[in-house]
Amino acid sequence: MKNADAKQQPPRRTGPAITAVTTVWLVLMVATGLTAWLIEGRPLSPAVSTTGAMLIACFKARLVAMHFMELHDAPPPWRWLFEAWILGCTAFVLAGWWLA
Amino acid sequence: MPGSPTMRDAARRLPGDAGLWLFIAADTAAFGVFFLIFTAGRAEQPALYRESAQLLNAELGLLNTLLLLTSGWLMALAVKAARERDRPLLVRRLKQAILVASGFAASKAWEYTAKMEAGITLLTNEFFAYYYIFTGIHFLHYLVGVAVLLLTLSKARQQPLDAGLQSWTESAASYWHMVDLLWILLFPVVYLQR
């Protein structure tokens, strides 16, 4: 391990102390808290809580795909593929719920 | 011209190994099929699915979401540390990501045990068959992910932090984020449709 360490360059910083991914993580935490409020909120109808929970999940999935998986910097076809998958799954599940 | 659209397009790349991304695409597509199957089943028996879903512990599902999101965030920070060639920070972030992720296994073990003890099994009804199959397949993905993170931690401790280890860490993170991504959608689909 010492030999390996000797080959290392000193750390080079690539961004600010509060990184973009940390901001994204905070937004994801708040969005999950909003989901908790939606599903525990007694006055809300099933339609509102189910639709809200799916739309929040769609928003969170997109944040993870674009910022954690770094698809915002990926070749466009890859980005479109995952955007379509997230939106398509959300739309199909919601359509199924409303039609049922 | 630096910064021009052409230069930016040329610099666009997937993090980690390109081959892994084919697997990630195929795996997410498979979960898309799971969602289709579940939604079609629910459309035929909405009352059964609604009543069955209410027997699931949504609070535990929310906790699992928080654990996976936080572990994913720590893994994203691990990738940043690898790119900055900061080995101590990389090792620390990997340990933190694994530690937080371990809460998911404990939570799922608790959840499955409670369901079994309540007499709810794979054979109870169609909803619970899908519940065990889809969350079980996701849990297998999680176990593979934890094994990959442990292997990455071992490499980070023993190998020089060069472009190869950076690429490995990016690949491990991409897989781990996929596990997170799948859970984010699987959770409301199975647990939260009222």
Q: What is the pLDDT along chain B (194 residues), one digit of tens a residue?
A: 445 555 556 577 899 999 999 999 999 999 999 999 999 999 999 999 999 999 999 999 999 999 999 999 999 999 999 999 999 999 999 999 999 999 999 999 999 999 999 999 999 999 999 999 999 999 999 999 999 999 999 999 999 999 999 999 999 999 999 999 999 999 999 999 98
B-chain CB neighbours of A56 within 8 Å are: 188
One-letter amino acid for residue B13 of the chain: R
Half-sphere exposure of B35 (CA within 13 A, CB side): 29
* Residues in chain B within 8 Å Cβ distance of A100: 42-43, 46
Residue of B109, B71, B105, B74 whose CA lies nearest to B89: B74
Q: Which residues contact A42 (CB under 8 A, 6 or more apart)?
A: none
Give the minimum alpha-carbon distance from A37 to chain B in angstroms, rounded to a whole number: 11
Q: To the nearest whole angstrom, how far is the Cα of B38 from the nearest Cα of chain A?
A: 9
Is residue A29 within 8 A of residue B66, CB to CB? The reply is yes
Whether A2 shows a pLDDT value over 60: the answer reads: no
Angle between helices B46-53 and B126-158 (to 10 degrees): 50
Summarize pLDDT for A7-57 with one digit per residue, the tens.
455 666 666 556 899 999 999 999 999 999 988 866 788 999 999 999 999
CB A82 within 8 A of CB B28: yes
Structure tokens at B49: 């699915």
pLDDT confidence of residue A8:
52
User: Among candidates B102, B194, B187, B193, which has minimal Cα distance to B145?
Assistant: B102
Q: What token pair was written down for B71? A: 């572990």
In the prediction, which pLDDT does B23 show?
96
pLDDT at B12: 79
Tokens for B63, please give them. Answer: 């906790």
- CA angle A57-A58-A63, nearest 5°? 95
Structure tokens at A36: 């908790």
ipTM of the shown complex: 0.92
Task: Give the closest residue to A95 by CA, choosing from B42, B131, B164.
Answer: B42
Report which residue type is found at A32.
Answer: T
Q: Is B72 on the interface with A (CB under 8 A)?
A: yes
> How far apart (Å, rounded) are the C-alpha atoms in residues B13 and B29?
21
Rounded (10°) CA dihedral A74, A76, B37, B130: 10
B46 contacts in chain A (CB < 8 Å): 100
H, E, C per residue of B66-120: HHHHHHHHHHHHHHHHHHCCCHHHHHHHHHHHHHHHHHHHHHHHHHHHHHHHCCC
Query: What count of CB pairs under 8 Å joins A to B?
Result: 151
Q: What is the pLDDT of residue A6?
A: 44
pLDDT of residue A1: 42
Residue A15: predicted pLDDT: 60
pLDDT over 50 (residue A71) = yes
Is residue B161 within 8 A of residue A8, CB to CB? The reply is yes
SS3 content of chain A, % helix, strand, coil (to 5): 75, 0, 25
In B, minimum Cα distance to A72 occurs at B12
